[in-house]
Chain A
Amino acid sequence: MSCERIQEKLTAYLDGELAGQDGSVVRGHLRECATCRQAASDEAALRDGLRSLPPVDPPPSLWAGVQAQLAAAEVADAKRPAWRRALARWAPSAPRFAAGALVAAAAIAVLWWRTQRAPDDAPGPDRAIATPAPAPAPAPVPEPGPPPPRGDITAELAAEPARQTEAYGDAAEELLALATEVRGTWAAEQQTAFDARLSELRGQIDRAPEGRPRQKAWRELIRYLQGAIVRDEIALAGGVP
């Protein structure tokens, strides 16, 4: 075996990882080759030197620094609005969510583009006659009236406002759960005021027509809940109630 091959095996040999004949081959080569023997001897000395390096003691200030930074981080947590903490719980899955969202957006964009292009691409003599002089038409505009060739994307887009409203509802539910948790710590009159305002805002949502007005009503409820939770947290952190 060449010196090069032997030297490739030296690390494993010296660490006792070459069993049986492999070890014997290296040992036999080392008996005869002074260069490889020197290399093995050097590597063994290096390995032993690394193993016996003294531990490095940290300065006493390290623990104090860790404690101070932890305390600062906890105070910052306490001051952070609950909705942002709730958001932070989603943060680890954010990259995956973003990637999924990107793929979905690309797919919708392609579908939309094909939907818009379909009439232009349709070949046929009638069409050629109907448009003898190609006008410098701007970007294609969706035509009103008859349904576009691919109805699924239209239905999907039509369902979008309802989905958004549902998302507002989910966010409000989560905030409401947080607010209900802290409500128990409030004075009776604060609780009554909170309940009254909550019921008023819920009434607004029920009365608002579907679509944007209802979404606006949801947003108002969300803002109110966020405010209530933040005020509570600032009070807990020793700030202005």
Chain B
Amino acid sequence: MSDLADTAPAVPSPILAEPRPRVAAALADDAQLVAACRRGEARAMEMLYHQYKRRVFGMAHRIVGASDAEEVAQEVFVRVFRALDKFRGDSALSTWIYRLTVNAALSHLAKRGRRQEVSDETLGEMPAPPAVERDSGLAARIEAALGQLPAGYRAILVLHDVEGLSHEECAAILECRVGTCKSQLHKARARMRELLTPSIGART
């Protein structure tokens, strides 16, 4: 047995979804924060901004590119604060904000007629990853490949793989079925593998 184990090829093992602290507690916090923001409390508004700024800006950055990310993120936050009255709490606040972000980013691309690509200049403007990044070579290649994907694939990869959301959450944000979400993720990863070939795993 042990011989067999020694000679057997290493098979990539599945990684179970990491536990994601969320739901009930988050919903209660969201409700308080939303109520305070609706009353126009400046501190609450700033807190909400800081809580979501990286997620909103990160999504916008990876979908529309660095040059337009600030414009899109600003539009998203203005919409969030202006439309908080319409937020009914049916879903988590984060789901609602992600949905606004994805919609704003995709419609921004549509307006600019740039559904397919982010230009090389735009990629060049992307800030360098922080020094703590272990494999900056791979990260840079992944960011560059992301920029070449169709916008819809970019959205699902960022939501599921970068932000770590579940298929159910992604489906709620993208307003599609869970099955559609899974098949889109599969296609998006396959396209990324093609773009990153040969040998994604080769460390630099």
Contact = CB atoms under 8 A, between A and B. Distances in A.
A11 B164 contact: no
Contact of A62 (B62, B73, B81): B73
Interface residues of A, number: 45
A50 B70 contact: no
Interface in B48-77: 49, 53-54, 56-58, 61-62, 69-70, 73-74, 77
Interface string B166-195: 000000000000000010011001101100
A58 B134 contact: no
Contact of B78 (A40, A41, A70): A70
B142 interface: yes
A62 B182 contact: no
Contacts of A10: 186
Contacts of A65: 70, 74
B112 interface: no
B200 A49 contact: yes
Interface in A35-57: 37, 39-47, 49-57
B17 A15 contact: yes
B9 A50 contact: no
Interface stretch (B24-32, B87-95, B125-133): B125-133
Contacts, number: 133
A126 to B, nearest CB: 63
A30 B12 contact: yes
Contact of A58 (B9, B73, B161): B73
Contacts of B157: 50
B76 to A, nearest CB: 9
Contact of A23 (B14, B17, B139, B182): B14
A37 to B, nearest CB: 6
Contact of B14 (A16, A61, A69): A16
B57 A56 contact: yes
A55 B73 CA distance: 15
Interface string B115-129: 000000000000101
Interface in A6-31: 7-8, 10-18, 23, 27, 30-31
Interface residues of B, number: 52
Given A63-B49, A70-B81, A54 B130 contact: yes
**Residue from the set A7, A58, A59 with the largest chain B CB neighbour count within 10 Å:** A58
Nearest to A28: B11
A191 to B, nearest CB: 29
B41 interface: no
Contact of B15 (A16, A41, A53): A16
A53 B54 CA distance: 13
A155 interface: no
A42 B162 contact: no
Contact of A56 (B17, B46, B58, B74): B58
Nearest to A55: B54
Given A45-B200, A54-B129, A56-B127, A62 B186 contact: no
A171 interface: no
A135 interface: no
28 contacts: A10-B186, A12-B182, A14-B14, A16-B17, A30-B11, A37-B11, A37-B12, A40-B11, A45-B138, A47-B15, A47-B189, A49-B200, A50-B142, A50-B157, A51-B161, A53-B129, A53-B162, A54-B132, A55-B54, A57-B54, A57-B57, A58-B54, A58-B56, A63-B49, A69-B78, A70-B78, A70-B81, A73-B82
Interface of B: 8-9, 11-12, 14-17, 46, 49, 53-54, 56-58, 61-62, 69-70, 73-74, 77-78, 81-82, 127, 129-130, 132-135, 138-139, 142-143, 157, 161-162, 164, 182, 185-186, 189-190, 192-193, 196-197, 199-201
Given A17-B14, A62-B73, 13 more contacts: A7-B190, A40-B11, A41-B12, A42-B201, A45-B201, A46-B196, A49-B135, A51-B161, A53-B129, A57-B54, A58-B53, A66-B78, A69-B74
